[in-house]
Structure 1
């Protein structure tokens, strides 16, 4: 993602999904969104208990429908896992209609026009997670509801109607503007040259740098082996052709999340290309097979619906510090990629490993 992408107002749902996952904030965000939806949905039943509630049977039905929709949407955000972009879009559309309906059916026009203020909450969510096109839809529906209520309120007090409309517009515009600026600051401060924009994982260059750090500075005294894993998604190209790029991006986000949950905290995880992921970690033993199997199983059980061919290489750590680390990482990746292709040729959804292979970077120079 870059500055021009922000100016075009593109949808950045998956990038923020990855950003939240990288900072372990997805679950808390889901709970906050669910609590906000549930709280807004509870306003209708509370009003129905008093004299300002809907005065007709039709109004009561509308308010009950709005509350039911809010409960369903809140439960969607409380489900295990992060909601898909399509689910989030649906919640925004339904929420937009629900706010308008609940504001209009209230007998008191001054109370109804106050309810339109809640578009500031919805608009803030849209500008953070979605596109300006969806924000335009939300504001268009909100403007229609606001205009209707303002006209009805102006029948009793024109100055009150004008002042209220001005206040609501200012609150909504400021809330959306502030949220957009915050997210743009996050985007500008993130080193996109080192991050893959969909998953938020490091790219090739960052992987080389971080693995070089692993080689040069051991995190534990008993670390003796460097393990590099190459994960290639089976059938990814077919998914892009059949389901489209959006579904494929969602699958990559799911795989990235599965790898984060499977690997150790100190492991280096990277995503250099569409169908490929890399993992590097330090081990105390020469048996990386359990890690490779956990990764294979995590991908197969993820929401991506894909399987993976996994290649892994394990080599002693100590000799590597004496040679250029970039050359070491490059050769280990090539060995792991060869093992991965062997697993793919065997049918995919398998692992292959190379234990302590002979590395050319460690070979003594030839004598002339």
Structure 2
């Protein structure tokens, strides 16, 4: 079972879970506005420097600043329109890094350019929060190269080693302290969320953690043609077990059943305990039909040495382009699978029912 936060290497990027975290709290709109506004301000500062005597000198340098400002603005447009994909976010960060470097190196006053390298810290903080340490290091490496070039040019033109050293100290402090501080905070937040999102008895996701993890799974597979499968499981005769054998026996049964669900679900499946004796599973692009997966789970539970069976409902639908549409789809499929589960229970239990697409 794929644990929330323990992603394969190609998905070690933080963008998916941070996006889900913000979506869950209705804060994506605020972040979109802040990111776009900050980028617009930085792009405008580059454009304003064109008119400054300390800014670009000559048609080539002016053109570089104009293009840099335009590219920075264009890269931020997705944040104005919608919550961007991971790829769009990476394009934004790489473009921003490149445009900051181009603008800083084009200024006629090397001290102004050197101090402009402090803005790399803004992008460093962004990639530290949303992406990986590799992007943080890449952004920092560009900042170091630009700062060293400008520092050498500044000493050669002014001879003021002390001013250069003071400027470098400020730039270095910001470009190291801010990104790596944000990175540490984001990783700590993720660790805390992961540990607090587990059912203490079974180790499965609790209701909130299930939805967050399932949303993250969807965002990692947000491509046309992929299929999202949801399975809802409710145990038959569980109350009778609790009443006759005691809650300790009920707890032991839940632990065994949870292990069976994990053993017979796909490696990428998100498994949650949504209620006392109710479980929910979400997976994308499982090789087997949902009815077959559900029947395998039903048999696994029936074969356990516990006097309970399971009524299971399933629902499945293709994902579409657009994360917001697919996030709503998850909720719809959970409702449909839940209704199918109740149909199985009304038919006598220990059965599987599939919701019509």
Alpha-carbon separation, structure 2, partners of 1:83 and 1:195? 29
Q: How does 1:258-297 map to 2 (within 5 A)?
A: 272-275=281-284
Q: Which residue of 1 aligns with 2:72?
A: 70
Q: How does 1:93-112 map to 2 (within 5 A)?
A: 93-112=94-113
The answer to whether residue 354 in structure 2 is matched with residue 339 in structure 1 is yes
**Shift, 1:337, TM fit:** 5.9
* 1:160 alignment partner, one of 163, 171, 179: 163
Q: Which residue of 2 aligns with 1:206?
A: 206
Q: Which residue of 2 aligns with 1:170?
A: 173
Q: Which residue of 1 aligns with 2:270?
A: none
**Shift, 1:205, TM fit:** 4.9
Whether the 8 Å contact between 1:14 and 1:250 is mirrored in structure 2 is no
Compute the TM-score of the two structures, normalised by the length of structure 1: 0.59
CA distance 1:273–1:65, shift in 2 (3 Å): same
Q: How does 1:229-244 map to 2 (within 5 A)?
A: none
Q: Which residue of 1 aligns with 2:193?
A: 190
Whether the 8 Å contact between 2:16 and 2:219 is mirrored in structure 1 is no
> Secondary structure at the residue paired with 1:274?
strand
Whether the 8 Å contact between 2:133 and 2:183 is mirrored in structure 1 is no
Q: Which residue of 2 aligns with 1:364?
A: none
Q: Which residue of 1 aligns with 2:125?
A: 124
Whether the 8 Å contact between 2:344 and 2:351 is mirrored in structure 1 is no
Q: Which runs of 5+ in 2 are unaligned?
A: 230-273, 286-314
Whether the 8 Å contact between 1:14 and 1:249 is mirrored in structure 2 is no
Q: Which runs of 5+ in 1 are unaligned?
A: 197-202, 211-231, 233-239, 257-266, 277-294, 316-326, 344-349, 351-368
Alpha-carbon separation, structure 2, partners of 1:67 and 1:206? 46
The answer to whether residue 119 in structure 2 is matched with residue 146 in structure 1 is no
The answer to whether residue 25 in structure 2 is matched with residue 42 in structure 1 is no
Whether the 8 Å contact between 1:59 and 1:106 is mirrored in structure 2 is yes
The answer to whether residue 136 in structure 2 is matched with residue 135 in structure 1 is yes
Whether the 8 Å contact between 2:18 and 2:130 is mirrored in structure 1 is yes
Q: Which residue of 2 aligns with 1:32?
A: 34
**Shift, 1:313, TM fit:** 5.0
* Aligned residue-pair number: 262
**Shift, 1:39, TM fit:** 0.8
Alpha-carbon separation, structure 1, partners of 2:17 and 2:208? 23
Whether the 8 Å contact between 1:146 and 1:165 is mirrored in structure 2 is yes
**Shift, 1:339, TM fit:** 2.5
Q: Which residue of 2 aligns with 1:248?
A: 221
Whether the 8 Å contact between 1:66 and 1:98 is mirrored in structure 2 is yes
Cα deviation, 1:201-260, whole Å, max 9, x if unaligned, reads xx96524999xxxxxxxxxxxxxxxxxxxxx9xxxxxxx9xxxx98516789xx89xxxx
Alpha-carbon separation, structure 2, partners of 1:96 and 1:209? 34
> Secondary structure at the residue paired with 2:281?
coil
Whether the 8 Å contact between 2:75 and 2:91 is mirrored in structure 1 is no
**Shift, 1:45, TM fit:** 1.6
Q: Which residue of 1 aligns with 2:264?
A: none
> Secondary structure at the residue paired with 2:26?
coil
Write out the 4+ residue segments of structure 1 that deviate beyond 3 Å after TM superposition. 1-5, 7-10, 191-196, 207-210, 249-252, 295-315, 327-332, 334-337
Whether the 8 Å contact between 1:9 and 1:133 is mirrored in structure 2 is no
**Shift, 1:116, TM fit:** 0.2
> Secondary structure at the residue paired with 2:19?
helix
CA distance 1:302–1:55, shift in 2 (3 Å): closer
Alpha-carbon separation, structure 1, partners of 2:155 and 2:209? 65
